Amino acid sequence: MKRALFPGSFDPITLGHYDIIKRAISLFDEVIVAIGINSDKKYMFSLEQRLEFIKEAFKDEPKVKIETYKGLTVHFCQEIDVKFILRGLRNPADFEFEKAIAHTNRDLAAIETVFLLTAASTSYISSSIVRDVIRHHGDYTKLVPASVRV
């Protein structure tokens, strides 16, 4: 069974993440969306809220599982016996950043990273833009799955 881990903060999940997960479902038997917990980071949404947004968005999709983890992503992959990490690419900056992490992860644990190019329609969306729109009372509903409500 081919399983992929999609790690991230998902603060909150956006239509960009949603698109990557949906497309990965046709490539893998199981896609595990994994919220990384970093105690040094300040989040807009609590872990429970972020989990609930993702759960609700994929409630009719049995191939999508949701987990949380602390520490290195590759250690979590080893713990749950996952061989692939899934990441989305929006632009050259994403590529440069992701390239170093992917090389490191392959060195550390022989785990391959599979990249999906963002859909053109969601390429500009990031969680940080969504948080800005929410903070300033803009219409964030165009940028996130319907499950994300403030």
Residues that bind ligand ADP (CB under 6 A): 8-10, 14, 16-17, 20, 87-88, 90, 94, 118, 122-123, 125-127
Annotated catalytic residue 17: yes
Annotated catalytic residue 99: no
Annotated catalytic residue 23: no
Q: d(Cα 73, Cα 26) in Å, to the nearest integer?
A: 23
The answer to whether 147 is a known ligand-binding residue is no
For residue 3, list its beta bridge partners. Answer: 30
- Catalytic one of 39, 41, 42, 136: 41
Nearest in space to 11 (alpha carbons), one of 65, 48, 39: 48
Q: Are 112 and 85 in contact (CB under 8 A)?
A: yes
Nearest in space to 90 (alpha carbons), one of 30, 146, 145, 15: 15
Residue number, 16 or 145, with CB nearest to ligand ADP: 16
Residue number, 8 or 145, with CB nearest to ligand ADP: 8
By annotation, the residues acting in catalysis are: 17, 41, 90, 127
